[in-house]
Amino acid sequence: MNLAALEYDHLQAINGPLIFLKGGEKLPAMSMVQIEDKDGGIRMGQVLEVSSSHAVIQVLSHTAGLSLSGTRVRLESDVVTVDVSREMIGRIFNGIGRTIDGKQIVVAEARLPVTGNPINPVSRDKPDEFIETGISAIDCFNTLVRGQKLPVFSEAGLPAADLVISLLNHARIDEYRKFLVIFAALGITRREMNKYMKVLSDEGRQLIAFINLAEDPPIERLLTPRFALTTAEYFAFRLGYHVLVILSDMTSYCSALREVGAAREEVLGRRGYPGYMYTDLSTIYERAGRIKGLPGSITQLPVLTLPEGDITHPVPDLTGYITEGQIVLEHRLHRKGIYPPVDVLPSLSRLMNNGIGSGKTREDHRQLANQLYACYAKGVDVRRLVTIVGEDAISEQDRIYLRFAELFERELLHQGRGRRSISETLDTGWRLLRMFPSDQLTRINREMISRYYSAILEDGRPSPLER
C-alpha cells in the first residue's frame, strides 16, 4: 500500500495538543502522522481515535501557529517506531528519538515499535544477581538486583540526582564492556540535565541519552521513556548488554499524561490524573527484567518528585504498586547533613531476599538488616515520645535506643561521597549493635551472634557508646 497516498487537509478543530480531522478514516489506530503547516513546517503526531467520520490526532509538539486551513496530515508509519543501532552509544537524542548532537544520523540496524510487547511471565527469569552500589543505605537495607525496577522517591530540594550519580560512580559492574546506561530526561531543567550529563559521559562510560527538557513540548514526554526502553530492550535482549535505565522525572511524565487526558475531556481520576495512569505506568515499569536463556538485563531507576513529600499522591502511589520497592529520601536527614538522606523505614526492596545471603553478600545480611532496622524503628519511636514527654521521662533502655538511632544515622547512613563495600557496611552495622546485650538481639539467631557479634567485641575497636 502506498502510504504517501494517505493525505488529509480538512481540520475541524484544534484543542490544546489535539487536532480533529474530518475524514481521516483510513488512518490506522495509534499510527504516526506528519503534520505540515502552511509554511511547510513539519510536526509529528499520533492517531488516538479514528472513526468513519473523523480522526483525533495528538500533536507531539507545540500546536501554536497551526491553522484549520492549509494544514496537511500525512500517514508516516503504521506504528510509532524507533531506529536502533549499536552506533547509538555515545549519542544524544531528543524526546522523540531524533539526534540533537549535530553529528551524523544513525544508520538503523532494526526498526522497532516503541510500545513494545509485554514479556511473557513464563519467559521471565528471577532477578537474583546482587549489584553492589557501594551505598550502605541501599546495599544493607534495600538491596538492588539486576532486572529490578527501584524508584527513588524524592522531594524538591533533595539530592536525588546526586544519589543516582553516586550510585553510578560506585556501582561495581563486572563486565564493564557490556554495561550501558540509558538516560531519559523527562521534563527536568537544563541545570539538572547538565549535572547528570557531566558524570554520565565521562570515563568512557557507555551512554545513550534521550532528552526532553522542561522547556520542550510536554507531549513528547509521553514517548520519551518508550524510546529509551525500546532501545534498552534492543541492547539487553538482542545484544546481551546489562542496561540501566534512568527515568527522571516520572512526576513530569505523569503531568504530561494529565494534560492530554484533560484535553481529551476524559473522566478524570484522583487529582485530575487519568484513570488509566496505572496501566500506562505499568507499560513503562514492567519493561524491566531478565529473560530466561538471554544474557542481558534491564534495570530501572525512575526518579519521582513527591509533591509536599506526600507518598499517597497518585504518582508515587501507583508507582509503588508496580515497582519492586522504593528508596525514599527525606528532608530531616538532609538538613542534618546526612548524605545520602535515605529514610530506611519507608524504603523497601522487594527483591532483596533473592539477591543476598551467603554466596551473594554474606550469610548474616538478612538477620543483621532486620535487627538494625528494628532497633532504628524503635529508636525513632522513642525520639517521637521524647518530644512529648521529655527525655527525663523515658527509661534507661529507651535512652539507649535513642542514642542508637542517632549513631545509626551518623555512622551507617551517612557516608558522604565515599564508597563502602558490602562487608564494610555490614561490619559497621555489627559495631553499632554492640550497644545492646546479645540477648536483646531477638532478630538474629544464636549461630550468627556467636560468629559475628563476638568477633566484633574482640576486634579491639571501641564500641560506639564509648566514643
Partner 1 sequence: MTGTIEKISGALIVAKGLEGVFLNETLEVGNESIPGEVIRIQEDHCFVQAFEETAGLRVGDPVRRRKQLLCAQLGPGLLGSIFDGILRPLDKLAGQQGHFLRRGAFLDPLDCSKRWHFRPSVTAGQEVGPGDVLGTVAEKAHIQHRIMVPCGARKSVVESIREGDFTVEEPVAYMEDGTPVIMRASWPVKLPFPHGGKLDATDLFITGQRVLDFLFPLAAGGSAMIPGGFGTGKTVLEQSIAKFSLADIVVYVGCGERGNEMTDLLCEFADLPDPRTGGRLLDRTVLIANTSNMPVAAREASIFCGCTIAEYYRQMGYHVALMADSTSRWAEALREISGRLEELPGEEGFPTYLSSRIAQFYERSGMVRCLGSGGRTGSLTIIGAVSPSGGDFSEPVTQETLKAAGVFWGLEPSLAQRRHFPSINWQSSYSQYLGALQPWLNEKLGPSWEEHRLWAVAILQRDGELQEIVQLVGFDALQENEKLVLETAALIKENFLQQSAMDERDAYCPPEKQLLMIRMLRCFHDKAGEKIASGMNFREVLAMHERQDCMRLGTRTPEEIISMLPETGET
> For residues 362-401, which are near partner 1 according to CB under 8 A?
366, 370, 373-374, 377, 385, 388-389, 393-395, 398
Nearest distance from residue 181's CB to partner 1, in Å? 22
Nearest distance from residue 130's CB to partner 1, in Å? 16
Query: Under the criterion CB under 8 A, does residue 119 sit at the interface with partner 1?
Result: yes
Q: Is the dihedral of CA 75, 81, 85, 88 positive or negative?
A: positive
Query: Under the criterion CB under 8 A, does residue 461 sit at the interface with partner 1?
Result: no
Nearest distance from residue 117's CB to partner 1, in Å? 4
Q: In 10 A of CB 58, how many CB atoms? A: 21
Q: How far apart are CA 285 and CA 264, in angstroms?
A: 25
Nearest distance from residue 9's CB to partner 1, in Å? 19
Of 90 and 269, nearer to partner 1 (C-beta) is: 269
Helix (H) or strand (E) holding 389: helix 365-389
Q: Is the dihedral of CA 381, 385, 390, 396 positive or negative?
A: negative
Residues 128-147, mask of contacts with partner 1 (x by CB under 8 A): -------------------x
Q: Is the dihedral of CA 153, 155, 156, 160 positive or negative?
A: negative
Site for partner 1 in 329-348 (CB under 8 A): 345-346, 348
Q: Is the dihedral of CA 160, 161, 162, 164 positive or negative?
A: positive
Of 188 and 318, nearer to partner 1 (C-beta) is: 318
Of 89 and 385, nearer to partner 1 (C-beta) is: 385
Among 99, 278, 309, 457, binds partner 1 (CB under 8 A): 278
Q: Which long-range contacts (CB under 8 A, 24 or more apart) does 376-385 make?
A: 376/344, 376/345, 376/404, 376/405, 376/408, 377/345, 379/403, 379/404, 379/405, 379/406, 379/408, 380/345, 380/405
Site for partner 1 in 79-118 (CB under 8 A): 79, 113, 115-118
Q: How far apart are CA 324 and CA 103, in angstroms?
A: 38
Of 78 and 411, nearer to partner 1 (C-beta) is: 78
Nearest distance from residue 381's CB to partner 1, in Å? 9
Query: Under the criterion CB under 8 A, does residue 320 sit at the interface with partner 1?
Result: yes
Query: Under the criterion CB under 8 A, does residue 51 sit at the interface with partner 1?
Result: yes
Q: Is the dihedral of CA 398, 402, 408, 413 positive or negative?
A: positive
Of 282 and 421, nearer to partner 1 (C-beta) is: 282
Query: Under the criterion CB under 8 A, does residue 272 sit at the interface with partner 1?
Result: no
Provide the grid cell at 68: 484549520
Q: Which residue has the cell 579491639?
A: 460
Residues 223-242, mask of contacts with partner 1 (x by CB under 8 A): --------------x-----
Binding residue count for partner 1, defined by CB under 8 A: 76
Question: Do 55 and 29 form a contact (C-beta atoms < 8 A)?
Answer: no
